[in-house]
Amino acid sequence: MSTSTVCPASKHVLVPCLNRVAWHQPLAWLGAGWDDFKSLWSHSLAYGAIFALLGYALVHIGWSHHHIAITLTTGFLLVSPFLATVFYGLSRRREQPGTDAFASLRENLPSIGLFALMLIFTLSVWERLSAVLVGLHLGSSRVPDASLAWLFSAENLEFVIAFTLVGAIIAVLVFAISVVSLPMLMDRRVDLVTAMMTSLWVVRENPLAMLVWAAAIVLLTGIGIATSFIGLVVIFPVLGHATWHAYRDLVQP
């Protein structure tokens, strides 16, 4: 449950009032996401399977190029907020039966499209940075037996630390601007700047809850990817539905 309310004061952007929540509130969002998944299982499973197959195909297409495989695997987290829009819409329709769950999507399509382009650009930047990191580490040598496990072993600790730090910085920035922005664009007629500013304020006012939420997303997505994307068939829809409930809990109408 919400513990307090704050209404950000901004001269240039009209940010709605926000709720401060307890650090463990993400567990409630996951529970609500699981309830949506069970209620909408046919649609959720179908879309989850599509995205899991897409992720599997993209990663294995680039498997012969190490930095591309790494980028696509880790980059899934960067573009997942946009991919999950279908689950936001399904949760909204369940919450408000009889309403057009995707009406605001059509009204805000330019903003949502621009946000998608931003994520794609971020992914392309991450691809170049990962290529530079791999290239600087390997030089003219090759990865033994095409083994990514070797590349991320203790033998290459400096590379692992550098790669993790750079990736974490990019991931944190994307998380901060997207934690509630796309559900907000799905729910009400606002511009992209307002949605992103709202997301940044949410992170600012709920640092512990956002830390737990980010850790849950990374952990569950990692499990899904580690199971050759099979686990994402269920995990990705649950996280998508849960994100909708996070938005509902954090941003006041």
Q: What is the DSSP pairing of strand 18-21 with strand 2-6?
A: antiparallel
Is the pLDDT assigned to residue 146 strictly greater than 60? no
The answer to whether residue 26 is domain-embedded is no
- Evaluate whether residue 133 is within a structural domain: yes
Q: State how many domains the chain has.
A: 1
What integer pLDDT is reported at residue 147 of this predicted model? Answer: 55
**8-state DSSP, 251:** B
In a domain, 164, yes or no: yes
In a domain, 19, yes or no: no
Instruction: Give the domain extent around 208.
Output: 31-250
Provide, rounded to the nearest whole percent, the portion of the chain with pLDDT above 70.
85
Q: What is the pLDDT of residue 103?
A: 67
User: What distance in Å separates the CA atoms of residue 242 and residue 248, rounded to the nearest whole number?
Assistant: 10
Amino acid residing at 49: A
Confidence check: pLDDT of 144 > 60: no
Q: Report the candidate in 43, 108, 45, 61 with the shortest Cα–Cα distance to residue 82.
A: 108
What per-residue confidence (pLDDT) applies to 145?
A: 44
The alpha-carbon radius of gyration of the chain (Å, integer) is: 19
14 located within any domain: no
Spatial separation of the C-alpha atoms in residues 59 and 29, rounded to whole Å: 29
